Structure 1
Amino acid sequence: MSGSGVLRRPAAGMLRRRFPGAARPLLRPLSSGNPYLDGTLDDGSEAGKLDKRIEAVMNHPQATRPEYSEEEKAEHARIGRTYNVESVKWHNKMNKAIQCRIKLKNDAIANLPEEVRKLAEAAAQPEMPPQPVPIYHPSLLPFGREDAV
């Protein structure tokens, strides 16, 4: 159990430094007197530098959202609503253009002479049917060894 105290000790030291006015420590302190375990190493070593970096990150002020007035909130809602409406209109316009191209292509193929239309329809068909995607189920046997059972 002594190993678990080593991992908890620097966190306890940092929490005590971050919340100095707490009524009681957040973690039970381990009185070891060892600066490596107490998180108070200040001799410029790598452990001390890491402790200072962690402390700087923990004490960094958090970004806060600005408070908006009711008029600003209403304006933001109007902008969002307008964006949604316009993006739906744009998508509908693009889908209509694609559908129009497909319809024109099919009409053009249908208006070809009989022998050319048959060639065009034959060219549109794939030469080989699509192969099914192999689905492997987890098992204790390697692939292709189902006959070994």
Structure 2
Amino acid sequence: MPATIRDRRNTAQKEAVTHALETACGFISAAELHQRLSSEGISVGLATVYRQLNALVETGRADTVPVAGGQLFRACEPGDHHHHLVCENCGTAVEIDPPSEDWILATAARNGFTVTRHILEVFGRCAACPV
């Protein structure tokens, strides 16, 4: 296959993954996103979905949170540092205010740490999901 055709296909697949993530409600797994694309008739491999999602995370265009079965992804604005309350059942996410920066720095200092970065995600069940 000529490189130009392959490049167009890869770009189309990347755009499809990005668009699907941007239109998903809350956090979603790579497998769920792949299934959604397949059901819409978009041919893209699961490995490509994972690669594109991880590339979006690296550029700050997506958030990722670890869960028991792997990780979930959600589109976000680059450079917009934020934290989430995440439903473990359906992936619904709400942005939350973190503890104060002073609390984070004081807690680290009390334990002999220097803060280089922080991640805060709170997990539970949303009101729409059964307990």
Q: TM-score with structure 1 length normalisation?
A: 0.23
**Bigger radius of gyration:** 1
More strand by share: 2
- TM-score, normalization by structure 2: 0.25
